[in-house]
Amino acid sequence: MENIAPAISAPSGMGENKPSNQAVLDWVHEVESLTKPANIFWCDGSEAENNFLLEEACRQGILIKLNPEKRPGCYLHRSNPNDVARVEQFTLICTPSKEGAGPTNHWAEPAETYRKLQEMLKGAMRDRTMFVVPYVMGPPDSPLAKIGYEITDSIYVVLSMRIMTRMGRQASAKLGDDPKAEFNRGVHSLLDVNPERRWICHFPQDNTIISVGSGYGGNVLLSKKCLALRIASYLANKQGWLAEHMLILGVESPEGKKHYVAAAFPSACGKTNFAMLIPPKHFAGWKITTIGDDIAWMEIGDDGRLYAVNPENGYFGVVPGTSYKSNPNAMRSIERDTLFTNVALTNDGDVWWEGKDGAAPDAAFDWKGNPWTPASKEKAAHPNSRFATPMRNNPVLDLEVEDPAGVPISAIIFGGRRSDTMPLVFQAHDWNHGVYIGATMASETTAAATGAVGQVRRDPMAMLPFCGYNIGDYFRHWLETGKRLTSPPLIFHVNWFRKDATGKFLWPGFGDNMRVLKWIIDRCEGRGGAEKSPIGYLPRATELDLEDLEGISSEGLKELLAVKPNEWSKELAAQKAFFQSLQPNVPPELLAQEEEVERRFR
């Protein structure tokens, strides 16, 4: 399928939403002079504009319209097979000193990088349309709300940004006319979608992002990982708030008592699923609602608690494994008005993927567009195939999602994908211990980024690929935030992915994660028993509500909650080696925590 498309000509009155802010106009003009597009399309975010662009995208072969009876308002996009995930090795943090980017980021010198990018962008949009996409991140009246403009030559990016952000007129209206008003400058060009000329570059000091050579996901939806995490984390450190790779969910008890929790799991480790889970039957009267499924911006409220908003307006979720059984709310969300990328197409114009309910179709087209049958060796859908769907489609969207003040966070949960070592759940002793747990967390790599899958790597706070500054300063910022919180959230660690000797998941996961969440809420309310272990507080098997839980034996449960000294001696060595690799950046408080855990195991 084509990513790159010739210029479009808009009917009069469309594509003319030129903002009045001179700084925006000057910058767009600069990019125009460099990239030489055939024309400029100024987006306004309207329904009419969206319909026109969808039609154009279908005409140009960028999208396939799905069967409107089966998937109304839904489209399929196939990306270039060389371009199916984030590219961490080509993601650069361009700060004046290498120190600023720190030991976990790929650093490049800003002036030189600008020069290289300019060279690549010279005439890059010739014969193409240059779209200017204005957007707001966060509830527009939130003090944390940010304005961005993304210039792009990809119509797919425009259509995705309309789902994922508050895109359109309101952004330019909010920015106003002051040429000094802050906005993020995002420039994206597909170039020739060549992995050898693919760079995702961040200039935190200039609030600028330049992305070239890709047309996929977090590489090009510059609002998401680039702005809402990498640039935002840099700003948050300077300004005293937190930008985190966390879902935010509400949990209401049958008595009507409500808590919010935020959870950081690495990419493709269960955030979207957890954010909209449906509790098992036994938990009648308990309600889970979603604020966000991927990113949280949090600041300290007047009452000394942590308050969170979701900067996004839609979900860019992993498709494979999504079913009415595993995640009914996601399935309902993607019944309409959804952009699918790299899933299979059925003969009746619907979409299919591995792990969808029911039998596989007898014949279909795989994510590359090749004929596929259940006998085929290749997967029908790419493991990192995604849906982009507006959050309004979520049947359990939380009513406070637009509250500019955000929601108060009772608990923070860290978690990774670990076949062994990590028990189902444990609680940190206090804030600093929690920061240590977050800083040393690890997870098996997934298809969300290019590279090997299934290798354990340290991924502090699930931010390894997303922290826009020195990770040591990031840890320090967390420790400082703890000092300013008079009612800090409790901190937990979970692992839904521990396996038995045969390689089977020990824990059923998904809706049953409610059982773990319930224990977490109990702990927040000062109920809920636990026993002290060297790694933190663990529930005894009797302290988890496991009624009606099927498919798990008492040995399985024991295994799930076990803290095995042989596994932990390896784990502590790995944590220590990780901190060593970051030196001299690790704050002494965290080294002290490391010593404490070691001591507790002795």
Binding site for ligand SPV (CB under 6 A): 86, 217-218, 224-225, 267, 294, 316, 448
CA-to-CA distance for 414 and 489, rounded, in angstroms?
A: 12
Binding mask 435-454 for ligand GTP (x = CB under 6 A): -------------x------
All residues at 6 or more sequence positions from 573 whose CB lies less than 8 Å from its CB, including other chains: none
Shortest spacing between CB 505 and ligand GTP, in angstroms:
5
CA-to-CA distance for 489 and 596, rounded, in angstroms?
A: 22
Contact status: 269 vs ligand GTP (CB under 6 A):
yes
Q: Which does 321 bind (CB under 5 to 8 A by kind): ligand GTP, Mn ion, ligand SPV, none?
A: ligand GTP
Q: Are 339 and 160 in contact (CB under 8 A)?
A: yes
Binding mask 292-311 for Mn ion (x = CB under 5 A): --x-----------------
Q: Which does 224 bind (CB under 5 to 8 A by kind): ligand GTP, ligand SPV, Mn ion, none?
A: ligand SPV
Shortest spacing between CB 330 and ligand SPV, in angstroms:
14
Helix (H) or strand (E) holding 596: helix 588-601
Beta strand 344-346 with 314-318: parallel, antiparallel or unpaired? unpaired
Q: Which is nearer to ligand GTP, 62 or 447 (CB)?
A: 447
Site for ligand GTP in 304-363 (CB under 6 A): 317-318, 320-321, 326
Query: Closest Cα to residue 44, out of 171, 150, 137, 155?
Result: 171
Q: Which of 294, 398, 459, 559 binds ligand GTP (CB under 6 A)?
A: 294
For the residues of 431-464, what is the DSSP string, one character each? HHHHHHHHHT-EEE--TTBSS-SS-EEE-GGG-T
CA-to-CA distance for 235 and 182, rounded, in angstroms?
A: 12
Output the CA–CA distances (angstroms, integers) from residue 170 to 136, 157, 180, 249, 389, in the order listed. 8, 19, 18, 27, 20
Q: Which does 86 bind (CB under 5 to 8 A by kind): Mn ion, ligand GTP, ligand SPV, none?
A: ligand SPV
- Please identify every residue annotated as catalytic: 269
Q: What are phi and psi of 566, to 5 degrees?
A: -65, -40
Q: Which is nearer to Mn ion, 272 or 346 (CB)?
A: 272
Q: Which is nearer to Mn ion, 267 or 273 (CB)?
A: 267
Residue number closest to ligand GTP, CB atom: 509
Contact status: 509 vs ligand GTP (CB under 6 A):
yes
Contact status: 270 vs ligand GTP (CB under 6 A):
yes
Q: Which does 273 bind (CB under 5 to 8 A by kind): ligand SPV, ligand GTP, Mn ion, none?
A: ligand GTP
CA-to-CA distance for 80 and 86, rounded, in angstroms?
A: 13
* CA dihedral over 219, 225, 227, 233, signed as positive or negative: negative
All residues at 6 or more sequence positions from 538 whose CB lies less than 8 Å from its CB, including other chains: 423, 425, 426, 427, 530, 531, 561, 563
Contact status: 496 vs ligand GTP (CB under 6 A):
yes
- Residues of this chain that bind ligand GTP (CB under 6 A): 265, 267-273, 293-294, 317-318, 320-321, 326, 448, 496-497, 505, 509-510, 513
